[in-house]
């Protein structure tokens, strides 16, 4: 009588339960371990949710005036006080988050699209294409950013849309030069050489292989750039070149209240705190993303 053949030994439990991780999962795990970055993420989420649900969170109409309640100090009725027209400051800060965040995200998105397109072309094709695009970046970077933004808005006219265009333009060279340097190294990789050898088109190589592998520093820079864009838009609005009545953003609130700094300091303190906290949140989150996505920052 023959004995049955022994069944093959199963793999160990550790091998069966082995989890295949991806760079993005590793980055997220590293990001969540950074407590400071999580604080920044929570601040950003708080202001984003505040902007989304602004109509339901505002205790009053943000443009409702009441001269009998002008320049009232913070109280149980108006938690953050009122401005010189009796408008509730808390309601205006909540609604102003919509414009400030929206402008910040749109500016950076436009800068990324234009800057990355030009940077990829300059890095991939080189020669005269690189020379022309790089000199364009150098010209834009030769001007102080806020002065260039003021000049653009002065030409186009004081308006929130024109301020958005100006902020997007001054940030284009930052993203363009960043991704150009990344493309210069990525295009020398063996898989790019292989793709060229089998006759793959330049467009397919650029958008299927080079661009996705060059976006890590852009993501980090984009997060930090949103904070910068919010400050720049607030600065333009403070100078009267951004949001115009009846629109409201935090920079315009500061401009409208500057003459009441001594008489009613809360009219400037609370919009200033909103700008500071939002910028702080994006900066903390951006630093955390840099630490998580940059291999050189890992132990």
pLDDT tens digits along 224-267: 899 999 998 888 888 888 878 778 889 888 988 888 888 899 99
Q: Is the pLDDT of residue 39 over 90?
A: yes
From residue 37, give the alpha-carbon distance in Å to each of 14, 140, 240, 269, 290.
32, 32, 34, 25, 10
Count the neighbouring beta carbons within 10 Å of the beta carbon of residue 199.
Answer: 6
Higher pLDDT among residues 200 and 147, named by residue:
147
Structural domains in the chain? 103-252 (1.10.3720.10)
- Indicate the pTM of the whole model: 0.83
Question: Residue 243: helix, strand or coil by DSSP?
Answer: coil
Q: Is the pLDDT of residue 99 over 90?
A: no
| CA–CA gap between residue 104 and residue 237 (Å, rounded) | 13
User: What pLDDT band is residue 21 in, cutting at 50, 70 and 90?
Assistant: low
- Whether the CB-CB separation of 250 and 275 falls below 8 Å is answered with yes
- 279: Cβ–Cβ under 8 A, 6 or more apart, which residues? 227, 230, 231
Q: What percent of the chain has pLDDT over 90?
A: 33
pLDDT tens digits along 102-114: 888 999 999 999 9
Q: Is the pLDDT of residue 295 over 70?
A: no
pLDDT tens digits along 8-19: 454 444 444 344
pLDDT tens digits along 171-215: 999 999 999 888 888 887 777 778 778 878 878 888 788 887 788
């Amino acid at each position: 009588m023959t004995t049955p053949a022994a069944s093959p030994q199963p793999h160990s439990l550790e091998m069966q339960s082995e989890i295949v991780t991806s760079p993005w999962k590793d980055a997220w795990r590293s990001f969540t371990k950074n407590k400071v970055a999580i604080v920044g993420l929570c601040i950003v989420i708080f202001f984003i949710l505040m902007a989304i649900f602004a109509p339901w969170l505002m205790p009053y109409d943000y443009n409702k005036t009441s001269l009998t309640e002008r320049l009232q100090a913070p109280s149980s009725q108006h938690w953050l006080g009122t401005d010189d027209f009796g408008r509730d400051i808390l309601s205006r800060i909540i609604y102003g988050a919509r414009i400030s965040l929206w402008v910040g995200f749109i500016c950076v998105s436009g800068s990324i699209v234009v800057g990355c397109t030009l940077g990829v072309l300059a890095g991939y094709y080189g020669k005269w294409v690189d020379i022309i695009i790089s000199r364009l970046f150098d010209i834009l970077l030769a001007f102080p950013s806020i002065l260039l933004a003021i000049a653009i808005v002065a030409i186009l006219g004081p308006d929130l849309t024109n301020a958005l265009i100006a902020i997007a333009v001054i940030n284009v060279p930052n993203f363009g030069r960043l991704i150009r340097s990344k493309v210069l190294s990525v295009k020398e990789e063996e898989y790019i050489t292989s793709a060229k050898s089998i006759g793959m088109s330049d467009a397919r190589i650029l958008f299927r292989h080079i661009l996705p592998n060059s976006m890590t520093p852009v993501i980090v820079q984009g997060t930090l750039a949103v904070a910068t864009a919010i400050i720049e838009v607030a600065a333009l609005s403070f100078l009267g070149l951004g949001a115009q009545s009846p629109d409201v953003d935090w920079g315009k609130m500061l401009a409208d209240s500057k003459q009441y700094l001594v008489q009613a300091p809360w009219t400037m303190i609370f919009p200033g705190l909103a700008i500071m906290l939002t910028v702080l949140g994006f900066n903390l989150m951006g630093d955390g993303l840099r630490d998580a996505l940059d291999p050189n920052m890992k132990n």
